[in-house]
């Protein structure tokens, strides 16, 4: 990862910042993060951009003939999708803490397998393709803690079908008088 800083002064004639150098800079680079700082320098509004980037890797550019990425979450039952989301949250926090990309901790396929099988031991984790001894030694107990903590919660019920009750007139129909309770007049 690399960092560059750009400082641009406001052109009072056009009312905008000159972005020519910035436009030329980003070609051939993958921008990871941009921080911006606005300040006044010598009575001129100035914008500083701190850009974290890496040089673009031609191998990372998706080819038009490559298949779309698989949505592992969509393949899970609704109950397992909620655990999958919890595991993704854990993975995100862990990756930030350790300063490494999330996919190096666990890939989405591994997260989906954990959510589907809900292993309760390190041996159960090792049985999942893609999770070896190193991952189990480093993060196994944390993963099992997420699964166990999630297991203590009730599984969400699947959404019921939107079927009206037999006497329910539906959202766009008038309510028949026999379904409206009578309200006594307020004493006067």
| Backbone CA torsion sign across 75, 77, 82, 86 | negative
CB 72 within 8 A of CB 109: yes
Q: Which residue has the higher pLDDT, 155 or 72?
A: 72
pLDDT band at 91 (very low <50, low <70, confident <90, very high): very high
- Give which of 147, 148, 111 is closest to 129, Cα–Cα: 111
Residues 6+ apart with CB under 8 A from 170: 164
**Least confident piece of the model among 39-43, 54-58, 97-101:** 54-58
Q: Which secondary structure element, helix H or strand E, spans residue 184, and what is its range?
A: none
- Give which of 81, 86, 150 is closest to 116, Cα–Cα: 81
Strands (E), 27-139: 29-41, 44-55
Residues 6+ apart with CB under 8 A from 6: 21, 22, 25, 48, 49, 51
Residue 8: predicted pLDDT: 86
Residue 41: predicted pLDDT: 87
Query: How many angstroms separate the CA atoms of 10 and 177, rounded?
Result: 69
Token pair in block for residue 161:
């079908």
CB 1 within 8 A of CB 53: yes
User: Whole-prediction pTM value?
Assistant: 0.49
Centre a 10 Å sphere on the Cβ of residue 46 and count the other Cβ atoms it contains. Answer: 15
Residue 129: predicted pLDDT: 92
């Amino acid at each position: 990862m690399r960092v560059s800083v750009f400082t641009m002064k406001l052109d009072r004639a056009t009312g905008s910042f000159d972005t020519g150098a910035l436009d030329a800079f980003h070609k051939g680079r993958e921008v990871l993060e941009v921080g911006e700082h606005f300040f006044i320098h010598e009575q001129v509004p100035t914008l500083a951009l701190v850009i974290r980037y890496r040089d673009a890797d031609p191998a990372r550019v998706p080819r038009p003939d490559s298949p779309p990425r698989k949505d592992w979450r969509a393949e899970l039952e609704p109950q397992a999708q909620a655990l999958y989301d919890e595991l993704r949250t854990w993975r995100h926090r862990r990756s930030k803490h350790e300063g490494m990309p999330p996919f190096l901790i666990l890939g989405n396929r591994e997260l989906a397998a954990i959510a589907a099988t809900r292993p309760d031991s390190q041996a159960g984790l090792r049985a999942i393709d893609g999770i070896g001894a190193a991952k189990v030694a480093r993060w196994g107990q944390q993963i099992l803690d997420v699964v166990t903590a999630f297991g203590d919660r009730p599984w969400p019920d699947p959404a019921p079908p939107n079927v009206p009750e037999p006497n329910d007139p539906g959202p766009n129909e008038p309510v028949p008088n026999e379904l409206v309770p009578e309200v006594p007049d307020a004493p006067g």
